Amino acid sequence: MRIKKTGLLFAAILLLLPLTGCWDRRELNDRLFDLGSGIDSLDDGKILLIGQFMIPLESKGTGAGEKKSYFIETGTGKTLPESIFDLQVKLSRNITRGHRRNIYFGEDTAKAGISDIMDSITRDPDSRLKTDIWVVKGKNALDFMQMSYPLEKMPVIATSKIRENIGKQIGNSLLEFLIESNAEGSGPTLPAIDIQYDPKLKKNTFSIYGRAILNHKQQLVGYFDAMESAYRLWVVKETNRMPITVPMSSNRKETFSVEIQQTRCKVHTEVEGDRVEIDVKLNGNATIQESNTTLELRNNENLRKYEEKLNSHIEKAMLSMIQKAQKQFHIDVFHFGRAISRQHPREWKDLSSRWEQEFTDAQITVHSRVKIKRIGLQGPPPYIQ
């Protein structure tokens, strides 16, 4: 019995050993938390690294007139590790990137290619796989990093929260970017930020522009705007709702707006010799949110007119967006290559090596079958008796 008690006591002592405190001897007072980084290319070929760091004492304060809870510092070098070292020698605390939320690339840096920089980021054990990657449209990352934002103590956090509020929570992170970059027959994309000067407010403001399109060398080749990006999400099944405004006449004075829910997409492919055909079939249920026409929506014939206009508008807009990727970017960002590999595995072995050209030449059709399920609480607009 005594031996059994001694064994239990010894086991308890062993369990207490991992609970002795900070095993790496790095106290919080010696750390500096990097919540956002920016990367720009300089004229001399060096890399400019911008860090937005939390000021521990100031970050606890609230209320009007409080001081900034962050500061910005930069480092330069021929490579990203050299830039990190140059940044570290200016700081009295050790940089900790385990809490970093966002990394921003300037447009010139993205055009030149980010593959070498991404290699360094992914090898860094402190890099979070959930870190969001962004491209600053038409500007440098430093231009964005220096902007303030009134609703967040750390401005770099605002972009991620904006994307969450508009219903897109995936497709940004480092992990997802790596998956897209290594997927056969698919091109990577990144969310893009647009900085604009507001003459009324007399200051720069930023918004989510859309999507930055990169080629297989991870070089920026162009952008999808916000609406084009939303249509792309429908194709790749990464959204379940779509707001759309449809003109009823050529002069665009009469319009109606809907929100499409339960969006669905099926891609059917055919491969015959050198000809590739891709048929995109879209479905969903729509709710009328606004109607600026004189039509009575409780009339079934008028409702069918709305559905015809809606589906025709969707087909034209979707096809225009896909053809932009085909003819302008020459990059498949819709996972069409994956669909062919599943549906025609033998043919894909031959197509995969030249898919970029085959995608450019592919015959693509779009068919939309969206049904209007709800018209709201009234038939005609309130100003029509």
**Which pLDDT score, from 0 to 100, does residue 230 have?**
92
Select from 29, 157, 23, 154 the least CA-distant residue to 94.
29
Share of the chain above pLDDT 70, in %: 86
Which token pair is 193? Answer: 């930020």
Is there a single domain that holds both residue 132 and residue 41?
yes
C-alpha 333/C-alpha 355 separation (Å) is 12
Is there a single domain that holds both residue 98 and residue 138?
yes
For residues 165-190, give the mean pLDDT.
77
For residues 144-153, give the mean pLDDT.
88
Contact present, 131 and 39 (Cβ < 8 Å): no
Indicate whether 6 belongs to any domain. no
Select from 359, 302, 316, 343 the least CA-distant residue to 351.
359
Render pLDDT for 196-207 as a digit per residue (tens, 0 to 9). 988 888 888 898
Indicate whether 5 belongs to any domain. no
**Which pLDDT score, from 0 to 100, does residue 157 have?**
85
Q: Is the pLDDT of residue 242 over 60?
A: yes
Burial class (CB in 10 A: 0-12, 13-18, 19+), 287: middle
Is there a single domain that holds both residue 32 and residue 172?
yes
Q: Is 45 left (phi over 0), alpha (psi -120 to 50) or beta?
A: left
Is there a single domain that holds both residue 266 and residue 308?
yes
Burial class (CB in 10 A: 0-12, 13-18, 19+), 31: middle
For residues 325-348, give the mean pLDDT.
94
Q: What's the Cα-to-Cα distance from 35 to each of 53, 104, 247, rounded to whole Å?
A: 6, 12, 44
Is there a single domain that holds both residue 104 and residue 130?
yes
Is there a single domain that holds both residue 296 and residue 160?
no
Is there a single domain that holds both residue 31 and residue 146?
yes
Cβ contacts of residue 216 below 8 Å, gap of 6+? Answer: 181, 187, 331, 356
Q: What's the Cα-to-Cα distance from 9 to each of 6, 106, 316, rounded to whole Å?
A: 5, 60, 75
Burial class (CB in 10 A: 0-12, 13-18, 19+), 325: buried
Is there a single domain that holds both residue 276 and residue 382?
yes
Q: Sorting pLDDT into bands at 50, 70 and 90, what band is 64?
A: very low
Is there a single domain that holds both residue 38 and residue 143?
yes
Q: Is the pLDDT of residue 327 over 60?
A: yes
Indicate whether 21 belongs to any domain. no
**Which pLDDT score, from 0 to 100, does residue 21 have?**
53
Is there a single domain that holds both residue 293 and residue 227?
no
Indicate whether 15 belongs to any domain. no
Indicate whether 34 belongs to any domain. yes
C-alpha 21/C-alpha 192 separation (Å) is 42
Render pLDDT for 30-63 as a digit per residue (tens, 0 to 9). 788 888 999 999 999 999 999 999 887 644 544 4
Indicate whether 265 belongs to any domain. yes
**Which pLDDT score, from 0 to 100, does residue 200 have?**
86
Boundary of a domain, candidates 187, 209, 236: 236
What's the CATH code of the domain at 252?
3.30.300.210
Is there a single domain that holds both residue 220 and residue 269?
no
Indicate whether 367 belongs to any domain. yes
Indicate whether 16 belongs to any domain. no
Total domains in the fold of the chain: 2
Average per-residue pLDDT in the chain? Answer: 86
Is there a single domain that holds both residue 79 and residue 151?
yes
User: Residue 284 is part of which domain span?
Assistant: 240-385
